[in-house]
Structure 1
Amino acid sequence: MTTPTLRPLTTYEPIDGQVLIPAARRPETSHQPPEHPVAADNGQFTLIATRILEVLDGRRPLGHLRTLVAEPVYQATVTRLRTTPPMGVRHQLSSIHSCRPTVDAVEACGLVETTRHGTRTRRAAALACRFEYAEGRWICVYFRIVGR
């Protein structure tokens, strides 16, 4: 029977020009879940997106968006209403799905159906938007209808 023994390892020599860098220590992670400012409620995001769509098709005045959207979204809506005023097109939000990439942000996608006044033809378009929690409320910082 043989006695277990430790054998020395062969020495390691770096190749010419290779630099030995010690492995960086990882920061210790906290095991506590991050605090969410408030619950992310799809109903709240549906309401904000619906109000933006109502402004775009003329059923709601532009001033109603002031507290719901960030300044760039508001200005983009003003520009769009100046260049293409609502002309009998109705937007209806059919569905919305959201995810929470960070504690204070929610990204959502949805389906928007558009109909022209006097017709039954419906067209579908995708909706992409982002909401951020700031100043004690959720505001829309990105809003885009894709595929119109």
Structure 2
Amino acid sequence: MHVADPEDVLAQLRTATRHGALIGLAEPDWDTLVVDAEDLDTSRAFTRYTASEVVRNATIGRSLARHASRAGFAVEAVLATTPVFRDFADADHMLGLGRNMQRAIEEGRIDAARGRQWFTSLSEGPFFASFTLVSVVCSR
């Protein structure tokens, strides 16, 4: 998700692996990020902002098998799992809730008062967030 050209990286990986090798790839699909909050509109604005502005290749998870196939790998299996976060502090650390909301506010994408209220409310009650993690097993 962080590289400029995922297909190029996979082509290089194919060159570096021997025939018959089994490769495991895993990437998140940030476009599937959900954060439960009473202010659903702000949650949606936050997840859209994260997927469109924060993560370089936010939908790499869903396209990983296609990229691997184009790079010359034989795709053996595609698995999707859904990590679930119920602890606010863990989710804030792993998903960047606070830092990405602050960035969205600074860029004028989300109203400051609304964004801060959304973030505060997440820390005050039961918490839920999730996204889809896609794993691809392929062979050379």
Q: Which is richer in helix?
A: 2
Q: Which is richer in strand?
A: 1
If the TM-score is normalised by the length of the shorter chain, which range does it land in? under 0.3
**Which one scores higher on RCO, CA 8 angstroms, separation ≥ 6?**
2
| Structure with the greater alpha carbon radius of gyration | 1
TM-score (norm 2): 0.25
